Amino acid sequence: MSLLSQRLARRLGAAAFAFVAVVSGVGAGTPAFADQVRERQYWLEDYGIEQAWSITRGEGVRIAIIDTGVDGAHPDLDGAVIAGADFSGLGSPNGQTPVGFDRRHGTMVASLAAGRGSGDGNGVIGSAPAAEIITASMSFGSGAISPDDQIARAVRFSVDAGADVISLSLTRNTRDWPETWDDAFTYAAENDVVVIAAAGNRGSGTVSVGAPATMPGVLTVGGVTEDGIASDAASSQGITIGVMAPSEGLVGAVPGGGYVSWTGTSGAAPIVAGIAALVRSAYPSMDANNVINRLLVTATPASESIPDPLYGYGLVNAYAALTVDVPSVSASPLGSLEAWITLHRKRQGESAIVPLGPSATEVDEVREPLEGVVVSNRGREVLPYLVTGGFAIVLALVVVVGASRVFLAVRRR
C-alpha cells in the first residue's frame, strides 16, 4: 500500500470514530475548570478552536515536528508521540531527547500543536489534541551535520513516517535554500503533505521572511498580538505570508514537566499546524492543496488588501475552516515548488542549449520568438545564438578583408 493510501485509510478510519464521538457527545465540551496555564490559552476561544472541537479534535492525523526534539514524557504529551528519529547525531534514536542550545523549543512547539493537557482542564492543550506527533530532532548550532542537511533528511523521514502535516518553527534567515531542500520538499508535496513554516521574528533579527517560509507551496504563518494586531517584535513581514496566528502571550510545555511563557511565530506555526490537522481529520479525502486553500479563504481579513504583505489572508479561523463552503482548487494557491525548480535550477552550472539561428532569408519568419534575451542560469543576460553567430560571421569577414588589405599593401612595396 502506498504512503498516500496509508494516510487516507488512517484518516477515513478516524473520521468514523470522530463522528461517533460527536453524536454521543464525547469530548465535545469545554472543561469546567481550568488552571492558570489553560486560562492563558486565549487563542482556543478567540480563533474558533474550541468550537471546532465539536466536529473533530484531530483524530487520525499525524503532525511532524522538525525541531530540537519532543519530550514525550511530559504529562501534556503522554501518548502523543508515536514515531521519531534523530538527525543531529546528538540525540536518542527515537528523537525524544531534546538537543541543541535551546532544548526546550521542540517540546514547546509540539504542545501547541497537539498537547493533550494533563487532568481535567490542566496544562497545555494543542489545537488538535487527538492528533499524533512525529518528532524529528535536529540541532540548529554548528556540528558535523549541517542544519540544512538535517532538515532535508528530517522532511523525508517525516513523510515516510506517515506525516499528514509538517510544522517547521525555524528559518535560514535567507530567502534562498539549498538544493537538497528541493528534493525533500518536493517529496512532501508529491505525497500530499501540508507543510507549514513560521515567518520569523523581527525582534530576533529576522526582518523579512526567510526559507523555508519563502518556498512555493509552503504555508507561511505570521504572528499577531493578543488583540490581533501584527506583532512588531514577534513576526516578520513578507509577501509569502499566508495566515496569521497568535505569537504573543503564549504558554508552552517544556521538558521535565514544566511550562514557560513565550512569544514568537515559533508558537504561531504549530497552532496553525494543529488547525490544519483538524481540517484533514474532518475532510479525510481532501488533498493538501485544498486544505491550505481552505485555511486561506476562511481566514478573518485583517486589512483591505488580500493578500496583504503584513497579514496575508488574515487571522486563521479554525471553526470557519471546518464549516464554510469553499470551492475546490486543482493546484496549490501558494505556487508549485516543482515549477520553481524547473525555472530556476534547470541546467544550473551549464550553458543553456539553444539551436543555431536560421539562414538570413528565413529570419523574418521567426524573428518574433527569437527577440529578446536568453537569461542564463547565473542571471547573466546573453544574446541569442542567432545574433551571436551572425556577429561572429561579420567579425570574421572584417578580419579577412583587413588582412587581405595588409597583404596587398606589403606586396606593392
Tell whether 355 is covered by a domain: no
Tell whether 74 is covered by a domain: yes
Q: Which residues, 6+ apart, have CB-to-CB distance to 354 below 8 Å? A: 374, 384, 385
Q: What is the number of domains present in the chain?
A: 2
Query: Are residues 137 and 38 part of one domain?
Result: yes
With helix as H, strand as E and coil as C, how does 7-34 read?
HHHHHHHHHHHHHHHHHHCCCCCCCCCC
Whose CA is closest to 15, among 7, 112, 319? 7
Is the pLDDT assigned to residue 354 strictly greater than 70?
Answer: no
Tell whether 119 is covered by a domain: yes
**Position 347 confidence tier, pLDDT thresholds 50, 70, 90:** very low
Query: Are residues 387 and 317 part of one domain?
Result: no
Query: Are residues 393 and 313 part of one domain?
Result: no
Query: Are residues 310 and 163 part of one domain?
Result: yes
Is the pLDDT assigned to residue 137 strictly greater than 80?
Answer: yes
Task: Please state the rounded mean pLDDT for residues 99-121.
Answer: 93
Total Cβ atoms within 10 A of residue 225: 17
84-88, 146-150, 230-234, 277-281: which range is least confident on average?
230-234
Total Cβ atoms within 10 A of residue 5: 9
Is the pLDDT assigned to residue 23 strictly greater than 60?
Answer: no
- The answer to whether residues 58 and 274 touch, using CB atoms and an 8 Å cutoff, is yes
- The answer to whether residues 71 and 108 touch, using CB atoms and an 8 Å cutoff, is no
Q: Which residue has the higher pLDDT, 202 or 252?
A: 252
Tell whether 351 is covered by a domain: no
Q: 264's torsion region: left (phi>0), alpha (psi -120 to 50) or beta? A: left
Whose CA is closest to 133, among 76, 80, 73, 92? 80
Query: Are residues 370 and 337 part of one domain?
Result: no
**Position 356 confidence tier, pLDDT thresholds 50, 70, 90:** very low
264: its cell numbers = 514568537
Q: Which residues, 6+ apart, have CB-to-CB distance to 25 below 8 Å? A: none
**Position 151 confidence tier, pLDDT thresholds 50, 70, 90:** very high
Torsion, Cα 213 215 218 220, to 10 degrees, reads 20
Q: What pLDDT is attached to residue 323?
A: 98
Instruction: Give per-residue pLDDT as tens, 233-269.
Output: 777 777 899 999 999 999 999 999 999 999 999 999 9
Among 320, 344, 368, which residue terminates a domain?
Answer: 344
Burial of 31 (0-12, 13-18, 19+ CB in 10 A): middle
Is the pLDDT assigned to residue 222 strictly greater than 50?
Answer: yes
Task: Please state the rounded mean pLDDT for residues 88-97.
Answer: 96
Query: Are residues 375 and 260 part of one domain?
Result: no
CA angle 199, 254, 263 (to 5 degrees): 35
**Position 7 confidence tier, pLDDT thresholds 50, 70, 90:** confident
Query: Are residues 192 and 128 part of one domain?
Result: yes
Q: If DSSP codes are grouped into helix, strand and coil, which group holds residue 168?
A: strand
Query: Are residues 72 and 219 part of one domain?
Result: yes
Among 318, 344, 370, which residue terminates a domain?
Answer: 344
Tell whether 327 is covered by a domain: yes
Helix (H) or strand (E) holding 62: strand 62-67
Q: 355's torsion region: left (phi>0), alpha (psi -120 to 50) or beta? A: beta
**Position 206 confidence tier, pLDDT thresholds 50, 70, 90:** low
Q: What pLDDT is attached to residue 37?
A: 92
Is the pLDDT assigned to residue 396 strictly greater than 50?
Answer: no
Tell whether 331 is covered by a domain: yes
Q: What pLDDT is attached to residue 207?
A: 65
Query: Are residues 284 and 330 part of one domain?
Result: yes
Q: What pLDDT is attached to residue 14?
A: 66
The one-character DSSP state at 86 is E
Is the pLDDT assigned to residue 33 strictly greater than 50?
Answer: no
CA dist 271 and 312 (Å) reads 16
Burial of 303 (0-12, 13-18, 19+ CB in 10 A): middle
Q: What pLDDT is attached to residue 235?
A: 75
Q: What pLDDT is attached to residue 350?
A: 39
Q: What pLDDT is attached to residue 233?
A: 78
CA dist 210 and 208 (Å) reads 6
Domain interval for residue 365? 360-412
**Residues tagged active-site:** 67, 105, 266
**What radius of gyration, in Å, describes the C-alpha atoms of the chain?**
27
Total Cβ atoms within 10 A of residue 234: 28
Instruction: Give per-residue pLDDT as tens, 361-389.
Output: 222 222 222 222 222 232 322 222 222 23
Query: Are residues 243 and 132 part of one domain?
Result: yes
CATH code (residue 254): 3.40.50.200
Whose CA is closest to 176, among 220, 222, 213? 213
Total Cβ atoms within 10 A of residue 78: 13
Query: Are residues 330 and 382 part of one domain?
Result: no
Query: Are residues 331 and 373 part of one domain?
Result: no
Is the pLDDT assigned to residue 359 strictly greater than 50?
Answer: no
Q: What pLDDT is attached to residue 29?
A: 31
pTM, rounded to two decimals: 0.79
Which residue's C-alpha cell is 480563533?
47
Task: Give the helix ranges, DSSP H, for 176-333.
Answer: 179-190, 265-282, 288-297, 318-323
Q: What pLDDT is attached to residue 346?
A: 60
Tell whether 56 is covered by a domain: yes
Task: Please state the rounded mean pLDDT for residues 305-334.
Answer: 95
Tell whether 354 is covered by a domain: no
Amino acid identity at 179:
E
